[in-house]
Amino acid sequence: MNLHTKLIGLAFLCLALNSQAGHEVVLASGAIPPDASYTSANQAATSSVVNGELAPVVQAALNKSLRIRVTAPLVRVSVANPEIADVSLVRNQEIFLVGKKVGSTNLFLWTKDGGMTSMDVVVSIDVSGLQNKLRELVPEEKGVKVSPAGEAFVLSGSVADGVILRQIVLIAEQYGGKKIINLLSTRNVSQVLLEVKVVEIQKTLDDKMGANAAFGSQGGSFFGGLTSFATTTPTSTIANTGASTLVSGFSLLGGVGYTGGVSNLTLQGEIDKGRAKVLAEPNIVAISGQEASFLAGGKIYIPIPQSTGTGAAMITLQEEDYGVGLNFMPTVLDGGKINLRVSPEVSELLTTGTTFGTGTSATVVPTITTRRASTTVQLNDGESLAIGGLIQSNILETIKAFPVLGELPVLGPLFRSSEFQHNRTELVFVVTPHLVKPSKERIALPSDNFVPPTRTQFQLGGKMEGDEK
């Protein structure tokens, strides 16, 4: 007799046997015929036969057991892939199924009258534990649903704000070490504008004072005169120059020269002062809980020497970014506080570089100077905070003197030169977050008030902009 005729009225009751008593997993839904018999303390919904056809899919949890009770007597059961699920016939009306590996397979059933049918079995990771934990920790978010997708947890539904969303994702990440597919959305979206200021002041002081003397027919340079003491062959002594006259006064740099036919004595002094200021103000907006990045600059390619397996040299190019960059992720907390994970950076190319290679194949690789900070802070809307700073002071003192003569108490300064350098750098990073909302009004742009000049205004008047209308 046909199996579908004999099994009219067959019903499956699927009960998950785990550590929690009374916990049930519903594999499918359908009407239960009047002659279906089963026992369950919680009157579980069943996977059943409707209109003579079995429910096509049985859902099983990984490493969990299912007890399937039927009303028609069975003589044999078998599973197509024993690595995914293990099945055994406990009694002629009861099947025991265990999910062993994530995947799908087939379950075959034979009845006493010789009939046979099959159904699909899908084994997925158990999400009931995570679902219960979320209900315990965030009971107000009843719309969050956890479902399996292969070996990953899928989070779906909507939550109140980004703070709750981040908490739910964090809980899921720590639960079982599974991959998380986040499909959650927020009902109230908060957006944060971050203002960053990077200010750097550089001060330099270079003070030089020295004497340049040579005994002989050749003179020396500002600092090279001290070298001339050792390299010039004397042709006379100081006593021979008594008849010499003062022929030069103060030079442009403050030098005083006393020259004779066979000697040269020059005093020079110079003071240089310099100041440089670097200021960058990147701004960017991001949704609470989402990361944003900003870069205004460029890229350079740095040659990196490498050796191949044959010993031949090979050059590869490594890409490096420079300019004004900003990476941050805001999280709006309760009470309007803003948690910021921020990493501002300002870098630039130096005019000097590093020489790579030798001879005619030498290449100068640019050097990049970088100011970078990375931290996590918490501020209120509109508050400012200096997240990092640096005060650097470098002092360099150099003295060059003629042996013995440079140590004399009174005449010693005439036979030595000195240089004093003081470099001071002050650097500070300041961040200011703002809670913002989109505006329906048109945003003013920097180019709105620009009027191009006419040819007459540009060529005759030298104007870069025309008159406003």
Is 325 contained in some domain?
A: yes
Is 315 contained in some domain?
A: yes
Same domain membership, residue 83 and residue 155: no
User: Which CATH number fits the domain that encloses residue 82?
Assistant: 2.60.40.1080
Same domain membership, residue 388 and residue 306: yes
- Range(s) of the domain holding residue 82: 55-124
Same domain membership, residue 425 and residue 312: yes
Is 291 contained in some domain?
A: yes
Same domain membership, residue 298 and residue 409: yes
Is 44 contained in some domain?
A: no
Is 38 contained in some domain?
A: no
CB 372 within 8 A of CB 389: no
- The per-residue pLDDT for 358 is 66
Residue pointed to by tokens 């330099």 = 204
Last residue of a domain, one of 83, 100, 124: 124
Same domain membership, residue 394 and residue 451: no
Same domain membership, residue 163 and residue 61: no
User: Which CATH number fits the domain that encloses residue 166?
Assistant: 3.30.1340.30
Last residue of a domain, one of 156, 188, 220: 188
Same domain membership, residue 282 and residue 174: no
Q: In sequence order, what are the residues at sequence separation of 6 or more whose Cβ sits closer than 8 angstroms to the Cβ of residue 168?
A: 134, 138, 141, 144, 155, 159, 184
pTM of the model: 0.47
Is 425 contained in some domain?
A: yes
**Euclidean distance between CA atoms 242 and 249, whole angstroms:** 19
Same domain membership, residue 382 and residue 317: yes
Token pair for residue 267? 């005093």
Last residue of a domain, one of 100, 124, 148: 124
CB 179 within 8 A of CB 151: yes
Same domain membership, residue 281 and residue 329: yes
Give the burial class of 111: count Cβ atoms within 10 A of its Cβ; 0-12 exposed, 13-18 middle, 19 or more buried.
Answer: buried
Task: Say how many domains are in the chain.
Answer: 4
Is 250 contained in some domain?
A: no
**Within 13 Å and on the Cβ side, how many CA atoms surround 213?**
20
**Euclidean distance between CA atoms 214 and 230, whole angstroms:** 9
Is 232 contained in some domain?
A: no
- The per-residue pLDDT for 243 is 38
User: Amino acid identity of 456?
Assistant: T
Same domain membership, residue 402 and residue 288: yes
Residue pointed to by tokens 């300002």 = 346
- The per-residue pLDDT for 378 is 92
Q: In sequence order, what are the residues at sequence separation of 6 or more whose Cβ sits closer than 8 angstroms to the Cβ of residue 79?
A: 85, 86, 87, 105, 106, 107, 108, 121
Same domain membership, residue 384 and residue 446: no
**Euclidean distance between CA atoms 467 and 469, whole angstroms:** 6
3-state SS of the chain? Answer: CCHHHHCCCCEEEEEEECCCCCCCCCCCCCCCCCCCCCCCCCCCCCEEEECCEECCEEEEEECCEEEEECCCCEEEEEECCCCCEEEEEEECCEEEEEECCCEEEEEEEEECCCCEEEEEEEEECCCHHHHHHHHHHCCCCCCCEEEEECCEEEEEEEECCHHHHHHHHHHHHCCCCCEEEEEEEECCCCEEEEEEEEEEEEEEEEEEEEEEEEECCCCCCCCCHHHHHHHCCCCCCHHHHCCCCCCCCECCCCCEEEECCCEEEEEEEEEEEEEEEEEECCEEEEECCCCEEEEEEEEEEEEEEEECCCCCEEEEEEEEEEEEEEEEEEEECHHHCEEEEEEEEEEEEEEEEEEECCHHHCEEEEEEEEEECCEEEEECCCCCEEEEEEEEEEEEEEEEECCCHHHCCCCHHHHEEEEEEEEEEEEEEEEEEEEECCCCCCCCCCCCCCCCCCHHHHHCCCCCCCCCC
Q: In sequence order, what are the residues at sequence separation of 6 or more whose Cβ sits closer than 8 angstroms to the Cβ of residue 94?
A: 67, 68, 69, 70
CB 193 within 8 A of CB 436: yes
CB 30 within 8 A of CB 55: yes
Walk along the chain (469 residues) and give the pLDDT tens digit of each residue. 444 434 433 334 333 333 333 333 333 333 223 233 322 222 233 343 333 344 467 888 888 888 877 777 888 888 889 899 888 888 877 888 898 888 888 888 888 887 887 888 888 888 888 888 898 998 888 889 998 887 888 999 988 777 788 888 888 888 766 788 889 887 777 889 999 988 888 888 877 776 665 544 444 443 444 433 333 444 434 344 433 333 333 333 444 444 444 345 565 666 677 776 777 888 999 988 889 998 888 888 887 777 776 767 777 888 888 888 889 999 888 777 899 999 988 888 877 767 766 666 667 777 888 888 899 999 999 999 998 888 888 888 888 887 877 778 877 777 778 888 888 888 888 999 999 888 788 877 777 777 888 888 888 878 888 776 5
Same domain membership, residue 117 and residue 132: no
